[in-house]
């Protein structure tokens, strides 16, 4: 029987035929795809003609189509709908892929062709995008170790293979801890919980086969439990389990894995001539240096800490009123912050949530993109990888633009968090291909599914990434969509969050789940007034994580990362009632792969730009100003990584931003 992963898909929009693909197809498809790619690379490297941009760089861009097709499907389903077979395949594929790409980057004949073109670059008559692709290709080879020889070259391959294995182990250990822990709730354990939390807990209990409501380690369930449960003892149990992910001892413990990853990263950077891994990693980002990152984070840390300490004092007084003595603990913060929010803004999450229906928030995200960029969305009835998924065809002016897939609900088979990925990225060479883009979230199920305001913000955030993929208009896939500097990639996503806060958007789409009535003006005013509530807490938990990540990578590798984490938190004066958003054993951004390693600061670097960019809309004709939307698409959303990130921002805004707009947006300005 033919393997569907290796065929050209004669399906609507060339979507993967998910109903024909089984787990047994992945391994043989991977072997064949690797073999095909290896042969294509060999043909390019061993070509007898003098290297040209077409026969070398464009040929590299065109190579690996089958492999991209297989990986596009596999890694989407492995992350969003895992099972023991897929986990085993991930463990099998990770070292194979690392070895495969190390073999390519270590191909001296191929590198010689790329280097020859780089030396002649000024005489090749390239377009700006071609010049950029040549630079990135050459730089990628050098940074991968193509210029290394002998023992150093061998060691680099060993390091890459081992890091691939460790990243997969880290991810799977975290998934196992999140999947396996849950806390049964008896009737007496539901005290203080609004109906939407009880319903979500019952739905989670059904999925676990528990026979009653449970609390799991899904953020969309545990956070509201910590906000509302009057049972301080249960809040403590749940919080400790949540923050112990990856640090429970036994087979799923990630602490030694993190230590080995840090050591190997340092060695990798040293082999390439860098003092530290942070120096190596940040060279290609907008920030460029660890010093620039630290300067930004500390400019935000000081006012955030001051705000958080003032807030903590108030929350302790609320605790005393409840007859609770002793210090404010991390499992108390969200509970008393929710009480305080109700006092200050007369805003109750339980009152707000019925107005934030998942389907309506999806409509809102779509509508904003229609008003800004002229996009329309029509539901598709096609096979997808899980019954929870839905798909839409995206059009503009009647022309097909992309397929968008939304996978919104939490389940045990899905890793935590939210992300955007592309099963297929936009490109025009070697053939025109429209993107297939996926947003994955972890919202609690319900009938209807209701979101917190934070959930709704996450939905808009991930859809901002999706727009970056869908509106991409470049020639080469290597610079398509979100293939940009890590500290620039969050700009479109964080910028899009601002449209959730636009009053007319909420007035239209925030309608009551039972009555259909729009959110009352008084409640809407309270929501917007409370937008920066508890921002000291939110900023502290994020910046602490970013500073720990930076510290891990800007000096000698810590033999004991947990001890180094504790040192950093003591140095910066971490408030005792707040924990890092991502402690080391479950810091998947940093340890599941190299993506955000030494780069977790990126969200804040991008936020400096997104706050400034939205101000550009407000200074013009408002949130839906057509000229600004056109400029945003022209200079940022359509260009991918075809130009330098700072150049792209300058061409949109005319200048680089300062931190002031960010502090103002977070309510932390003096």
Catalytic positions, written as ranges: 462
Cite the beta strand spans of 559-636 per DSSP E: none
How far apart are the C-alpha atoms of 36 and 395, rounded to whole Å?
Answer: 34
Say if CB 215 and CB 182 are below 8 A apart. yes
- Contact between residue 423 and residue 76 where contact means Cβ atoms under 8 Å apart: yes
Contact, 479 vs 640, CB < 8 A? yes
Q: Is the previous residue joined to 471 through a cis bond, with omega within 30 degrees of 0?
A: no
Closest CA to 40 of 5, 3, 66: 66
Q: Is 125 left (phi over 0), alpha (psi -120 to 50) or beta?
A: left
Omega of the bond prior to 158 within 30 degrees of 0, cis? no
**Joined tokens for residue 10:** 């004669």
Three-class DSSP labels, 244-268? CCCCCCHHHCCHHHHHHHHHHHHHH
Alpha-carbon span 282 to 94, nearest angstrom: 24
What Å distances lie between residue 397 and 14, 400, 493, CA to CA?
21, 9, 24
Residue with tokens 């070697």: 430
- Rounded Cα distance, 580 and 1, in Å: 51
CA distance 210 to 442: 20
Give the H or E element holding residue 336. Answer: helix 330-345
**Both structure tokens of 142:** 């050098």
Evaluate whether 420 touches 437 at the Cβ level (below 8 Å): yes
Q: Single out the residue of 76, 158, 58 nearest to residue 117, CA to CA.
A: 58
Q: How far apart are CA 75 and CA 239, in angstroms?
A: 30
Residue 427 CA: distances (Å) to CA of 270, 464, 630: 35, 19, 21
533 Rama sector, left if φ>0, alpha if ψ -120 to 50, beta otherwise: beta
Structure tokens at 200: 């979500």
Distance CA 614, CA 596 (A): 25
CB neighbour list of residue 235: distance below 8 Å, 6 or more residues apart: 225, 226, 229, 331, 332, 335
d(C-alpha 141, C-alpha 103), whole Å: 11
- Encoded tokens for 405: 């897939």
Buried b (16+ CB within 10 A) or exposed e, 623-653: bebeebbebbbebbbbbbbbbebeebbeebb
At CA 300, angle to CA 294 and CA 301, rounded to 5? 80
- Distance, in Å, from the CA atom of 408 to the CA atom of 396, rounded to the nearest integer, reads 25
């Amino acid at each position: 029987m033919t393997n569907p992963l290796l065929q050209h898909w004669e399906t609507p929009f060339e979507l993967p035929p998910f109903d024909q693909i089984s787990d047994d197809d992945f391994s043989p498809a991977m072997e064949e795809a690797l073999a095909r790619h290896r042969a294509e690379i060999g043909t390019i490297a061993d070509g007898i003609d003098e290297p040209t941009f077409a026969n070398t760089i464009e040929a590299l861009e065109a190579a690996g189509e089958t492999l991209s097709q297989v990986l596009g499907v596999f890694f989407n389903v492995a992350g969003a709908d895992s099972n023991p077979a897929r986990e085993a395949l991930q463990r099998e594929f990770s070292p194979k892929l690392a070895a495969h790409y190390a073999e390519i980057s270590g191909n001296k004949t191929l590198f010689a062709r790329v280097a020859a073109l780089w030396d002649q670059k000024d005489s090749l008559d390239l377009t700006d995008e071609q010049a950029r692709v040549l630079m990135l290709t050459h730089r990628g080879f050098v940074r991968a170790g193509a210029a290394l020889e002998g023992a150093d070259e061998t060691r680099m391959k060993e390091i890459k293979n081992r890091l691939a294995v460790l990243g997969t182990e880290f991810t799977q250990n975290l998934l196992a801890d999140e999947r396996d822990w849950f806390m049964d709730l008896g009737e007496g354990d539901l005290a203080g919980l609004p109906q939407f939390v009880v319903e979500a807990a019952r739905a989670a209990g059904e999925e676990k086969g528990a026979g009653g409501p449970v609390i799991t380690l899904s953020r969309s369930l545990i956070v509201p439990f910590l906000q509302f449960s009057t049972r301080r003892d249960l809040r403590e149990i749940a919080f400790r389990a949540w923050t112990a992910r990856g640090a429970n001892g036994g087979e799923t413990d990630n602490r030694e894995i993190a230590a080995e990853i840090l050591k190997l990263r340092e060695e990798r950077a040293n082999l390439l001539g860098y003092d530290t891994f942070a120096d190596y990693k940040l060279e290609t980002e907008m920030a460029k240096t660890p010093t620039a990152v630290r300067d930004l984070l500390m400019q935000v840390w000081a006012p955030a800490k001051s705000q958080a300490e003032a807030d903590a004092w108030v929350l302790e007084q609320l605790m005393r009123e409840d007859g609770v003595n002793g210090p404010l603990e991390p499992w108390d913060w969200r509970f008393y912050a929710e009480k305080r929010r109700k006092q200050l803004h007369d805003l109750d999450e339980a009152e707000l949530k019925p107005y934030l229906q998942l389907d309506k928030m999806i409509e809102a995200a779509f509508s904003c993109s229609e008003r800004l960029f002229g996009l329309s969305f029509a539901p598709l009835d096609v096979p997808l990888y899980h019954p929870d998924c839905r798909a839409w065809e995206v059009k503009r002016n009647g022309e097909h633009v992309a397929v968008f897939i939304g996978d919104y609900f939490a389940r045990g088979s899905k890793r935590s968090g939210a992300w955007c990925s592309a099963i297929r990225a936009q490109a025009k060479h070697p053939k025109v291909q429209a993107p297939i883009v996926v947003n994955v979230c972890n919202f609690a199920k319900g009938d209807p599914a209701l979101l917190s305001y934070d959930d709704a913000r996450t939905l808009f955030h991930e859809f901002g990434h999706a727009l970056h993929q869908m509106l991409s208009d470049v020639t080469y896939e290597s610079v398509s969509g979100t293939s940009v500097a890590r500290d620039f990639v969050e700009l479109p996503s964080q910028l899009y969050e601002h449209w959730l806060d636009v009053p007319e958007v909420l007035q239209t789409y925030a309608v009551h789940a039972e009555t259909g009535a729009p959110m009352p003006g008084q409640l809407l005013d309270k929501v917007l007034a409370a937008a920066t509530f508890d921002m000291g807490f939110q900023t502290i938990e994020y910046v602490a994580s970013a500073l720990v990540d930076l510290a891990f990578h800007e000096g000698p590798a810590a033999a004991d990362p947990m001890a180094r984490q504790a040192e950093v938190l003591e140095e910066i004066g971490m408030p005792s009632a707040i924990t890092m958003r991502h402690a080391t054993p479950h810091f998947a951004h940093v340890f599941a792969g190299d993506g955000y390693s030494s780069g977790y600061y990126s969200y804040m670097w991008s936020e400096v730009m997104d706050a400034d960019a939205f101000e550009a809309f407000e200074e013009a004709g408002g949130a839906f100003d057509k000229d600004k939307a056109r400029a945003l698409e022209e200079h940022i959303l359509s260009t991918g990584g075809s130009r330098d990130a700072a150049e792209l921002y300058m061409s949109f805004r005319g200048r680089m931003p300062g931190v002031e707009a960010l502090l103002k947006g977070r309510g932390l300005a003096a």
